[in-house]
Structures are given as C-alpha cells and as structure tokens.
Amino acid sequence: MELFDLSGRVAVVTGGNGGIGLGMALGMARAGATIVVAGRDAAKNAAAVKQIQEAGAKASAIPVDVLKEDSCRALVADTVKTHGRLDILVNNAGVNIRKQPEQYTLAEWHTVMDSNLTSAFLCSHAAYPEMKKGGVGKIINIGSMMSIFGAPFATAYAASKGGMVQMTKAMATAWAKDNIQVNAILPGWIDTALTRRAREQIQGLHDNVLKRTPAGRWGEPSDFAGIAVFLAAAASDFVTGAAITVDGGYSVLG
Ligand code: NDP
C-alpha cells in the first residue's frame, strides 16, 4: 500500500532505544524505513538496532545527548552523511522529575524543559534544511496527557508537553509550504521505564490508570507503531499541526 509505504525513507527517533520510541521505530521499520536510533545509552542503542535489524530493516545508532545543541546538530549531520537523507524526525526523548512545584530547583526545571521541549526545537531546527532539500518532511513530536491536563507532581513536565503541542502548531504553519508536516502524538499511560518509576513514586497509580482508562489496560510501546507509520507516510500528507491522543480513551472519559 503506497499510502503507508516508507521504503527509501530515513527516520531519526530520539530516545528510539526503548519504550515508546522503540515501538514507533519498529513500526516504521516494518513499513520499510531506515531507522537511526538516537539515545545516550550505548548498550540500549545497540540492542535496539539489533531488534530493528531482526525485523528486517536497516538501522544504525548515533549516540546523542539532546540536552546539548552540538549533539542535536551532529545527529542530523551524521544521519545525512551515513544515509544520504533525512525524511522523518521523531522528537521522543523525554524525562520527568516528579516533585511539587515549590520543591523544584531551577536546574531541575531546565533539565525537564530542555530534555523534552528545547531538544525538539533544536533537532527540528537542524532537520529543516535537509527536509526542505529533500522536498518532503515529517516531524512527529511526543506530547503527553500532561499536554492537556495538570498534576501536582508535573509542573515542568506539563509545561514542556503543553509547549510541545503549541510548538507543533507553529512549526506546522511555518513549514507547510515546504511540504513538511509537523504533528504531535499524546500518549496516555504506557508501560515503559518512565512509568515504572512513576508507579514506584505515586501510590495507587497502577490501579487508578486501569480504572480511568476505558480500554481497561495500560498502553504498550507497540500501540505506537501504527500512528507513527501514519504520521510518517504519505497517508498523512494533508494532516499537519494536529495533536492526536493514543490513550485508550483516557482523555475523553467524562
Ligand atoms: P523511556 O524512559 O523508556 O524513554 C525515554 C527515552 O528518552 C530513552 O530512550 C532515553 O534514552 C531518551 N532520553 C532521555 N533523555 C535523553 C537525552 N538527554 N538525550 C538523548 N536521549 C534521551 O520512556 P517512554 O518511552 O515512556 O518515553 C518516551 C516519550 O514518551 C517521552 O517524551 C515521554 O515524556 C513520553 N510519554 C510517555 C508516557 C508513558 O506513559 N510512558 C506518557 C506520555 C508521554 P537513554 O536511556 O539512552 O538516555
């Protein structure tokens, strides 16, 4: 199906070495894309590349720390050097520091904002000229339920993820003329390393999510394969500036 065919496309996934990022990477790999796994942890990067290659796709890893501007720029430059092009950028790397707002230090605030939001700006900024040159581009930004809701332990995280949606809209309007679509995915509660830590820190979280999610389960990284393929493929060429929830109905339960 041409609409969902990613053959010949090159996709960079920040934080693609585990969790939701790897779920999306595997989906795009199965649709034919070459994947660049961009994380900090070399062992996780290598394991993810192996898993993607075992799924039959081309993959490589580029170590990156998205907190550093040079590292984001080198990620794009090295991708183009190795694979000749960059068509798809998934801004997925993210962290959370769970504390009440009054307990936050400025350094902690910057860590969360810079990891989640500034990194997406930097990687997109670096990717834009390459996508423009190639004549097509797909940027997929990962938001959160905290793009919509608030929570006492998520001041910086919610600010970063709310900002991600607004940045998505602004970039979408700027780059539509270049045939670059920019969209956001807002995951519900997904079983990953990030939320395993949350479940240790927030009493009752596991059961509360189950109760509150109409689908009656936590999400899995593999739940993000389909939406990633859609937003990376020609099927979504007239979809831009959207924020799509993938949450088993969590955000629409009244
Ligand atoms: P994980 O902790 O499994 O993944 C986070 C990823 O981000 C890791 O691959 C990590 O790579 C990477 N990362 C973090 N900081 C950096 C950095 N400075 N430089 C490079 N890579 C970095 O969690 P998830 O899969 O759950 O999270 C993925 C995204 O989804 C995040 O943006 C998160 O906010 C979002 N999200 C998750 C939800 C959930 O329920 N799980 C819900 C809503 C949103 P490494 O280990 O190599 O540092």
Nearest ligand 1 atom to the CA of 14 is 21
CA distance 165 to 236: 18
Q: Is residue 12 in a domain?
A: yes
Q: Three-state SS for 131?
A: helix
Place of tokens 């969590």: 250
- Ligand 1 atom 33, closest CA: 94
Strands lying side by side in the sheet with 243-246: 59-61, 34-38, 10-14, 88-91, 137-142, 180-187, 243-246
CA distance 178 to 166: 19
CA distance 183 to 170: 10
Q: Is residue 72 in a domain?
A: yes
Per-residue pLDDT at 235: 98
Structure tokens belonging to residue 58: 């081309």
Q: Is the pLDDT of residue 250 over 80?
A: yes
Q: Is residue 174 in a domain?
A: yes
For residue 4, report the distance from its CA to the centre of ligand 1, in Å.
26
Give me the count of residues in the chain.
254
CA distance 58 to 248: 31
CATH of residue 47's domain is 3.40.50.720
Please give the average per-residue pLDDT across 125-153, as a whole number.
98
Per-residue pLDDT at 36: 98
How high does pLDDT run on average in the chain?
Answer: 97
Structure tokens belonging to residue 100: 């009440």
Q: Is residue 197 in a domain?
A: yes
- Ligand 1 atom 23, closest CA: 194
Per-residue pLDDT at 194: 93
Q: Is residue 61 in a domain?
A: yes
High-pLDDT (> 90) share of the chain, %: 97
Q: Is residue 187 in a domain?
A: yes
Please give the distance of CA 235 from its chain centroid, rounded to a whole number.
19
Tell me the C-alpha to C-alpha distance, in Å, between residue 242 and each of 23, 138, 154, 195.
20, 12, 23, 25
How many structural domains compose the chain? Answer: 1
Per-residue pLDDT at 1: 60
The pocket around ligand 1, CB under 6 angstroms, is made up of 14-15, 17-21, 39-41, 44, 64-67, 92-95, 115-116, 142, 144, 187, 189-190, 192-195
Please give the average per-residue pLDDT across 109-135, as a whole number.
98
Please give the average per-residue pLDDT across 27-38, as a whole number.
98
Tell me the C-alpha to C-alpha distance, in Å, between residue 83 and each of 79, 86, 163.
6, 8, 31
Using 50, 70 and 90 to split pLDDT, how confident is the model at 84? very high
Q: Helix %, strand %, coil % for the chain, to 5?
A: 55, 15, 30
Using 50, 70 and 90 to split pLDDT, how confident is the model at 201? confident
Give which of 80, 31, 26, 71 is closest to 48, Cα–Cα: 26
Q: Which residues contact 59 (CB under 8 A, 6 or more apart)?
A: 25, 29, 34, 35, 36, 37, 48, 49, 52, 53
Q: Is residue 254 in a domain?
A: no
CA distance 56 to 70: 32
Please, are residues 39 and 93 in contact by the beta-carbon 8 Å criterion? yes
Structure tokens belonging to residue 133: 């040159």
Domain that holds residue 62: 2-249
For residue 1, report the distance from its CA to the centre of ligand 1, in Å.
31
Q: Is residue 126 in a domain?
A: yes
Is the overall model pTM greater than 0.75, yes or no? Answer: yes
Please, are residues 160 and 116 in contact by the beta-carbon 8 Å criterion? yes
Please give the average per-residue pLDDT across 42-50, as a whole number.
98
Q: Is the pLDDT of residue 162 over 90?
A: yes
